[in-house]
Structure 1
Amino acid sequence: MNGGLYRSKHAAPDGRPPMQEGVTVVSVDGPAPGEERAPSEDGSTTGQSAIMAVGSLVSRIIGFVRNALIGMALGGAVGNAYTSAQFLPGQIYELLLGGVLSSVLIPLLVRRRKSDADGGEEFTRKLLSFAVVMLGVATVLVVAAASLITAIQASGDAGNHYRDLVTNFAYLILPIIFFTGVSALIGAVLNVRGHFAAPMWAPILNNIVVIAVCGVFLLVFGAEKELTPENISPAQIALMGGGTLLGMVVQTVGLLPALRKVGFRWAWRWDPRSLGLREIGNLAGWMLCYVAANQVAVFAVVRILNDSGDDSPGALAFNNVFLLMMMAHGIIGVSVMTALLPKMSAAAAEGRYAEISEDLSRGIKLVTAALAPIVVVYAVLSDPIAVFLFQGGRITNADALAMGTVLTVAAFAVVPLSISFLCTNAFYALQGNKTVALINLPVVAVRIGAYFAFAAILDEALTAAGMTAANGISYLLSALISLSVLRRRIGRLNLGSVFAALCKVTVAAGVAAGVALLVVRLLPGSGAPDGRIEAITQLAVGGVVILTVYLSVALLLRVAEVSQVVAMVRRKISR
C-alpha cells in the first residue's frame, strides 16, 4: 500500500500489482489468492525476474531501515498511534480495490489487450478515468469520517489523548488511499504490457522519502525527550504524517515515466457504461467477501493492541514482527508456489488431479524443509534480531527485547502460513475462488475469537505476542481445512509421505535449536543482548550453528529436499 504500514497481499510475487516490497506490512490476513499472471511481451522474462528479485531485496532492506527509524523517532506510545493510523488506508484500499484489482481487473485488462483492435488502450483509459473519480470520492468521504473510523480502532480505554493522536495522524495519512489506488492501477497497466521493474522499484522511492523525514525529525526534535500522546507537538505530527503522505505521492509520480516508456498515453475518457461494471461486480463478489472478512479481523486486532496499555508492545511491535514473518514466507513459500502454480493450473485445466496432488505434496515438503532453519533462527535468536534491527533512539533495549518475545511466537506461525498459502493457490488453480472465500469465514471467526481470548487471559505485556499466536492458530486451521477439502476434491494428497518428511525436518530443527540455545547462552549477553555488538555476535555465531547442525542432521536423516538443495549447490561450486 503506502510505504508505511499496510500493503495489499492480493498480488503475486512476480511483479503483479499492487505488491509493494519493502514497505511495512501489517495485516492479519491469511494467504492471499494467486491470480492469473499477465504475460510478458518483451521476451526477457529472466531479465525482468532478476530485476524484480534485486528490487525486492533492496526494498526489504530499506524497509527495515525505515521501520527502525520510525521507532527511533517516535518511540513506543506515539509509534503505536502512528502505526494504528497507518492501518486505515490499507484496510480501506483493500475493500475498495486491492483484491478486485488482482483477481478481476488484471485478467480483464489482459483479455482486452488481446482482443481489442487497439490493444485495450481505450478500455484502459476509461477504466482509469472511472477508478480515479471513485477513488477521489471515496478518499474525501473517508477523510471526513476519520474521527468516527479511529473511534472504532481506539476505544476510551486507550485514553482521549491517544485516540486524538490517532485521529490527527489519520487526517494526514488517509489521503494515501487515493495515491495507493492510482499507483496500483498504473502498475497494473505496466504489468499487462510486460513492464515489471518500475512497480517493483517505485516503493523504494517511498521508503527513501520517509527515511529522510525521520532523519529530519530526529535532527530537529532530537531523541532525548520521551514522546507521549500528551506532549507531542502539532509540528511533529505534521512532519511525520505529511511526510508519510509525501512518500506515497512520490511513489505514484515515479511510475509515470514508465507509462510513457511502454507507449501508453493516459487521456481522460468518461464512459462508465462501457466498462461492464455489472460483470466486474459479479466476478469480484467472492473476493470482496474474502477481503471484508479479513478487514474485520484487522479492526479487531488494532482495537485490542490499542487498549493494551502504553507500556506493552503494541501495534508498532506487532507490525515489525509481522514484516519479519512475511519476509520468510515471501522468500520461500511464495517462491515455491510461483514455480508450481503454472504446472498445477495446466494440470487442473486437463483434469489431471493426481499431478496437482503430487505438486502440492512436493511444495509442502519443500517449503517446510526450507523454512525450518529460519523458524529456528527466529525462535532462538529473536532477542538479538530485535535488538539489532530496532533498538535505538526512543526504542530502548527493553522495548526491543519485548519485540523479540513477539518474534519468538511468530516463528511458529511461519510454516502454517506458507502451507495455507500453498493450499489456497491450489484452489485457485482449480478455479475455486468461492471455496477459498467460504473456508476463510470460519478461519477469520476463530482468529478473532482467539484475539479476544488471548487479550482476556494474558498479561498486557504479552498482548502483541498473543495476537501473533492467534494468527498462527488461524493459519494452521486454514491449512487443515484446505487439505481436507482438497482431498475430497482431487483425491489422495500423499499425506503419509508429507508427514514422514515433516517429522524428519522437526527432528533436525529441534536438534539445531537445542545446540544453538546452549551455544548462545555462553556468549556475551547470554541470549538477551544489551546492545548491537552483543546482538551481532549472537546472530553470527548462533546463525552458523543453526545452519550447520540443521543441514547435518537433515542429511543424516535423508531429508530428500535438503539433499537435493545441497547437491545442487555442490554442482554449482564444482563448475
Structure 2
Amino acid sequence: MSRVLRASAIMAAGTMVSRVTGFVRTAVLAAAITTGALGDAYNVAYAIPFILFDLLIGGVLSSVVVPMIVRRQKSDPDGGRAYEQRLMTIGIIGLTLVAVVAVLLARPLISLYTEGWTGRKLDVAVMLAQYILPQIAFFGIGAIAGAILNTRDRFAAPMWAPVLNNIVMIGVLVAYSLMAGQAGANVGTVSDADLALLGLGTTAGIVAQCLVLIVSLHRVGFRFRPRFDLRGVGLGEMGRTAVWTFAFVGVNQIGFLITTKLSSGAGDAVQGAGNSAYAYAFQFFQLPYGIIAVSIITAMLPRMSRSVSDGELGQVREEFASGVRLVSVLMVPAGLLLMVLGPAVTVLIFSWGTMTVDDAIYIGNVLQVFGLALVPFSLFQLLLRVFYAFGDTRTPVFIAVGNVAVSAVLSLAAYFILPAKYVVMGLAFAFTVTYVVGTVVAWTLASRRVGGLQGGKVAAGLSQMHIAAVPAAAIALGVLWLTRELAGLTPLSAAIMLAAGGGLGMVLYLVIANRMRIPEVSSIVGMVAGRLGR
C-alpha cells in the first residue's frame, strides 16, 4: 500500500494544483460568458473534442494500450521501444485526420448534441467548435505520451501538465474579458474576432499541455522515430480487444448525448442555466475524484496488469482492496461535505462578473446532488480496472448498457415530470442512481473473476469511514447555518463557510478516523507527519 500511496501522493499534488487552477479558469470563464446562451454554446463546443477523443482512443488507452505496453516491455527484446514508436506513429496520423474531419463536420456535430438551437446561437457554437476541434490531435498525442510515461511509473508529468493548460486559458480569458467587455457575454453581441480569440485560445492551452508531455517523455529516454512497419504493433489483437472498448465508450456517449440534450432543453425552457449548470457542477464534483481516485487508479492499473500477467490473483485482490480503501477514505467525507457546502463552493467561485449569486446557488444545488454519487462513481471506476487488467473489455460494455438504460429512464422521467428549474438537479440524481446500480453489478462480476474482492473487509472499512465522517458533516452544517443567519450567502460568507466548515470538518474527520485506527488514515497521517518532520 505504501508504494501506491507514494505514487498517488505525487499525482494528487499535481492534480490538486491542476484542479485549483482549473477552478480559477472556470470562474474567469463564467464571469466572462455567463451560464446563459453563450455559456451553453461554448460548453457544448468544448465538450465535443473530449467526446470524440473518448470514442476513438481515450478508453482504449486505459483498457487496452497500457496493459499491452506492459506486456511488450516484459516480452520484447528492446523493452517495447519499437512497439511504443509504432503506437505513437499511428496516433499522430490517425488523430490528425480525425481533427480535420471533425472541423469539416462541426455543424452536424453541434446539432447532434443540442436541442432546438437555431440562428445566432447555433452559428456561435459552430464557430467555436471549428476553432476548438483541432485540439483533438494534440490532446490525443499527449494522452499517448502520458500512457507511456505511466507504464514507466512516471506519473508526475501527466498530472502536472494540465496546470500549464489552465494558466494559458486564464490568460486568454482575461484578454477576452478586456477586449469584449459586456458584449462578450451575449451571443447576439459577441464579435467574430472575440470568438476567434476564445476558441483558438482554448486550443492553445491543449497544445501547451501536449508539448509538456512530449518533453517529459523525451527526458525519460523515449525517442520518437516514425515507424510504418505496423505488422509488429499487434493491431489485430488490439482491434479485437479495442472493439469492445469502442462499444463501451459509444454506449456511454449515448447517455451523455441524452443528458446534454435534456439539460440544454431545460435551460432554454427557463431562459437560464441548463447544460452549463450541469457541466460546471460536474466539474466540481470531479475535483476529489480527480485528485484522489484518478491518482490511485492510474498507479493501480499497471501493477494489477503485471500481477495478472504473472498469474498472481491474490495480489490482484490485494491491490484492488487496498485501492478501494485508499480512495474511499477521502471520498466518503468529501461526498458528505459537497452535499452540505455545495452552494458555498459555487457562490465563492461563480458569483462574479456577469454571474449573479442566484446563478451560482443554482449550480451549487446541482453539486449537492452530485455529492451523493462521489463514492459509488469512484468505486465503479476502480472496478472497471479489474476487468481491464485481465484484458477484458467486453464485460464493461454490458454493464454500460445497463447503466445507460437506467440513466435514460430516470433522466427522461426527470425532464417530463419535474418543473423545468429542477430538471438539471433531477439529471444529477439520475446519474447518482445509475452508478449505485452499476457498482453493485460490476462488483458482483469482478468478484467472480478474481475469486472474491474482500467485500467484508471493504464494507467494514466503509462503515467506519462513514461513522467518522458524520460529525464532520454536522460541523460543516452548523457553520453553514450560523454564517448564513448572520451574513447571508455572499462570496465572503461562502469563503468563511468553506474555511471553517470544510476545514474544521475534514480535520475532525481525520482525528476521529485516526482514533478509530482506520489503517488508511493512519498511513496518510503518518506520511504527512513524516514530511513535516524533515
Give the gaps of 5 or more residues in structure 2.
none
Tell me what 2:128 maps to: 169
Tell me what 1:321 maps to: 281
Tell me what 2:398 maps to: 438
Q: How does 1:168-567 map to 2 (within 5 A)?
A: 168-191=127-150, 196-222=155-181, 224=182, 227-273=185-231, 275-310=233-268, 311-335=271-295, 337=297, 360=320, 363-364=323-324, 367-490=327-450, 495=455, 498-499=458-459, 501-524=461-484, 529-530=489-490, 532-547=491-506, 550=509, 558=516, 560-561=518-519, 564=522
Contact 2:366 2:425 in 1 (8 A): yes
Counterparts in 2 of 1:271 and 1:321: CA distance versus 1, 3 Å: same
Pairing partner for 1:134 from 86, 91, 94 = 94
Pairing partner for 1:92 from 52, 64, 81 = 52
Tell me what 2:65 maps to: 105
CA distance in 1: counterparts of 2:82 and 2:336, whole angstroms: 52
Residue type of the alignment partner of 1:533:
L
CA distance in 2: counterparts of 1:108 and 1:282, whole angstroms: 13
How many Å apart are 1:404 and its aligned residue? 0.8
Residue type of the alignment partner of 1:295:
Q
Tell me what 2:16 maps to: 57
How many Å apart are 1:318 and its aligned residue? 2.0
SS state at 2:34 partner: helix
How many Å apart are 1:376 and its aligned residue? 2.4
How many Å apart are 1:112 and its aligned residue? 4.5
SS state at 1:313 partner: coil
Residue type of the alignment partner of 1:538:
M
CA distance in 1: counterparts of 2:232 and 2:508, whole angstroms: 62
Contact 2:70 2:306 in 1 (8 A): no
Residues 83-109 of structure 1, C-alpha deviations (whole Å, 9 max, x = no match): 111111111111222122333334444
Matched length: 528
Counterparts in 2 of 1:67 and 1:258: CA distance versus 1, 3 Å: same
Residues 328-373 of structure 1, C-alpha deviations (whole Å, 9 max, x = no match): 1233434555676677667766777677666655654554443232
Contact 2:161 2:213 in 1 (8 A): yes
CA distance in 2: counterparts of 1:90 and 1:184, whole angstroms: 12
Residues 452-471 of structure 1, C-alpha deviations (whole Å, 9 max, x = no match): 22122222222332222222
Quick check: 193-202 or 228-237, which moved more? 193-202
Counterparts in 2 of 1:168 and 1:57: CA distance versus 1, 3 Å: same
Residue type of the alignment partner of 1:270:
F
Counterparts in 2 of 1:561 and 1:159: CA distance versus 1, 3 Å: farther
Give the TM-score taking structure 1 as reference length: 0.81
CA distance in 2: counterparts of 1:570 and 1:206, whole angstroms: 29
Residues 375-423 of structure 1, C-alpha deviations (whole Å, 9 max, x = no match): 2221111111111122211222111111110111011110111222233
Quick check: 478-487 or 171-180, which moved more? 478-487
Residues 478-536 of structure 1, C-alpha deviations (whole Å, 9 max, x = no match): 11112222444455655455555545544544444344323322225668512x21111
CA distance in 2: counterparts of 1:117 and 1:326, whole angstroms: 41
CA distance in 2: counterparts of 1:201 and 1:79, whole angstroms: 27
Tell me what 1:76 maps to: 35
CA distance in 2: counterparts of 1:235 and 1:168, whole angstroms: 11
Counterparts in 2 of 1:563 and 1:202: CA distance versus 1, 3 Å: closer
Identity %: 34
How many Å apart are 1:473 and its aligned residue? 1.1
CA distance in 2: counterparts of 1:122 and 1:360, whole angstroms: 31
Contact 1:551 1:562 in 2 (8 A): no
Give the TM-score taking structure 2 as reference length: 0.86
How many Å apart are 1:120 and its aligned residue? 4.6
Contact 1:525 1:534 in 2 (8 A): no
Residue type of the alignment partner of 1:75:
T
CA distance in 1: counterparts of 2:8 and 2:524, whole angstroms: 24
Q: Please say if 1:150 is aligned against 2:100.
A: no
CA distance in 2: counterparts of 1:339 and 1:449, whole angstroms: 35
How many Å apart are 1:73 and its aligned residue? 1.1
Contact 1:365 1:498 in 2 (8 A): yes
CA distance in 2: counterparts of 1:493 and 1:522, whole angstroms: 44
Residue type of the alignment partner of 1:63:
G
Quick check: 330-339 or 344-353, which moved more? 344-353
Residue type of the alignment partner of 2:291:
I
Counterparts in 2 of 1:427 and 1:143: CA distance versus 1, 3 Å: same
Residues 535-574 of structure 1, C-alpha deviations (whole Å, 9 max, x = no match): 1111222124423554566578x47457745874797589
How many Å apart are 1:216 and its aligned residue? 0.4
Contact 1:378 1:407 in 2 (8 A): yes
Residues 25-54 of structure 1, C-alpha deviations (whole Å, 9 max, x = no match): xxxxxxxxxxxx9xxxxxxx97x8766444
Contact 2:63 2:391 in 1 (8 A): no
Tell me what 1:17 maps to: none
CA distance in 1: counterparts of 2:528 and 2:81, whole angstroms: 49
Give the gaps of 5 or more residues in structure 1.
1-13, 15-36, 38-44
Residue type of the alignment partner of 1:221:
A
Counterparts in 2 of 1:528 and 1:373: CA distance versus 1, 3 Å: farther
How many Å apart are 1:263 and its aligned residue? 4.5
CA distance in 1: counterparts of 2:161 and 2:318, whole angstroms: 38
Counterparts in 2 of 1:174 and 1:352: CA distance versus 1, 3 Å: closer
CA distance in 1: counterparts of 2:525 and 2:477, whole angstroms: 29
Contact 2:42 2:125 in 1 (8 A): yes
CA distance in 1: counterparts of 2:149 and 2:526, whole angstroms: 35
Contact 1:161 1:230 in 2 (8 A): yes
SS state at 2:189 partner: coil
Counterparts in 2 of 1:552 and 1:477: CA distance versus 1, 3 Å: same
Tell me what 1:34 maps to: none
How many Å apart are 1:306 and its aligned residue? 1.6
